Structure 1
Amino acid sequence: MKKLLLSLAFLGFMAVAAHAQSSSDGGKFSIGVEAGLPVGDTHNISNFAIGGSLKYDHPIADHLYLTGSAGYTRFLYKSEVKDFLNKSGEGFIPVKAGIKYFFDDAFFAEGQLGAVFSTESGGGTGFAYAPGVGYSFAGGLEAGVRYEGWSHDGTVSQVALRVAFKF
């Protein structure tokens, strides 16, 4: 069931993105690398998270964009947890949609909601939420900082930095 939901979400995202890409509406894809610092209870088992994501921004009004993103994040376990569980970390696939508002030509704030899928057997699916701020540089580079929380039998959370190239 988890793979079916992920596949449907991915296909829906790609269909919207392909339609938007074929028109001259100014929508943009971005591909980025992400690094996170676990916070809250997550910090007890992990010191660092690393991943990547694909994102699409579709204009819906002046300075306002509808966003869709999918990616992969791996929380790397602390050494004592790694030794106890006999594995280096746990992977997740977050799929989110949201709104991005540009205050001017560069500074923005955004919020996204969605689902996160564990790549571990029996890991399940959780609710994802991510408010953040960022800056779009000339030449297509974009950087943003966000708080991201995933709720499923507790909360996995991080403060993450995303550096991306828009095309």
Structure 2
Amino acid sequence: MKTSIKLSVLTLALSSIFTLSTKAQTTTTTAPAASATRSGVILSVGPDGGVPVGSLHNAYNWNLGGSVQADFPIYKNQLYVTVNAGFDNFFAKTNDVTNIKGSDLQLIPVKAGLKYYPVGNFYIQGEAGASFVTDKDKVGADKSTAFVYAPQIGYQFPLGGKNYLDAGVRFESNTKFVDNGSTNNFFGLRVAYAFGL
């Protein structure tokens, strides 16, 4: 799949989130704010998918994985500390010259950060941490650990009670695993089931 098609799909997903976000905000103006039910620790689990960009796109088509996240409130149910751990598998491309498929890149990112709700259930999130390569020898990596950071925006759709559908789009960047000066970047989408404790 070409990069332009992948970016178009990701853009469509992002615009859908904003459209649903706008509709959700206009329908909740007559009722109590949906964010009023958001309190306490929130756990979420769900799939992650993404599109590699830059030098990572040269060797990998897309990535798929999952993550578990805990959000701890620190200020008025608007500001949370987040802790996130997951798994990402980057599916290798087939070399056009040799017709040999490369090895998939497998990462375990562990991150912590802040999540802020400026309006209703719309949030801005930033995380940083470490990303571990599980198959270092297969992919020819020089290092097994790299610094990772991930800014994200998203929306928490109320499902009733303390249950939510948490949908977010992020840019995630890992510093180099190979000493060639390239970073490992991708645009990702996370759709998770979230529930308050």
TM interval, shorter chain, is 0.7 to 0.9
Query: What's the C-alpha RMSD, in Å, of the aligned pairs?
Result: 1.7
Could you list the per-position Cα deviations for residues 41-75 of structure 1 after superposition, in whole angstroms to 9, with x for gaps in the alignment? 11111110000000000000121000000000010
Which of 94, 116, 119 pairs up with 2:109? 94
Instruction: In structure 2, give the amino acid aligned to 1:80.
Output: N
Could you list the structure 1 runs, at least 4 aligned residues long, displaced by more than 6 angstroms after superposition. none
Shift of 1:121: 3.5
Find the aligned partners of 1:48 and 1:86 in 2 and give their Cα distance: 13
CA change 1:136–1:52 in 2 (3 A) is same
Aligned counterpart, 2:169 = 145
2-side partners of 1:121 and 1:74: how far apart?
13
Q: Which whole-Å CA distance do the structure 2 matches of 1:69 and 1:125 have between them? A: 16
TM-score by length of 2: 0.68
Report the counterpart of residue 146 of structure 2 in structure 1.
126
| TM-score relative to the length of structure 1 | 0.80
Question: 2:181 aligned with 1:166, yes or no?
Answer: no
Bigger-Rg structure (1/2): 2
Distance in 1 between residues matched to 2:81 and 2:57, nearest whole Å:
31
What is the Cα deviation at residue 83 of structure 1? 5.1
Q: Secondary structure at the match of 1:103?
A: strand
Q: Whose strand fraction is larger, Structure 1's or Structure 2's?
A: 1
SS of the equivalent of 1:42 reads helix
Equivalent pairs counted in the alignment come to 142
Equivalent residues in 2 for 1:13-28, closer than 5 Å: 26-28=40-42
Aligned-partner SS, 1:79: coil
Tell me how far apart the structure 2 counterparts of residues 106 and 150 of structure 1 sit (CA, whole Å). 28
Contact 2:83 2:112 in 1 (8 A): yes
Structure 1: state its 5+ residue gaps.
1-24
Contact 2:44/2:193, CA 8 A, preserved across alignment: yes
SS of residue in 2 equivalent to 1:138:
strand
Letter in 2 for 1:156: N
Aligned partners of 2:154, 2:102: CA distance in 1, in Å?
37
The answer to whether the Cα contact below 8 Å between 2:111 and 2:127 also exists between their aligned partners in 1 is yes
Q: Can you give the 5+ residue segments of structure 2 that lack an aligned partner in the other structure?
A: 1-38
* Offset at residue 85 of structure 1 (A): 5.7
Distance 1:130 1:86 in 2: 26
Alignment of 1:35-114 (within 5 A): 35-62=49-76, 63-80=78-95, 84=100, 87=103, 89-114=104-129
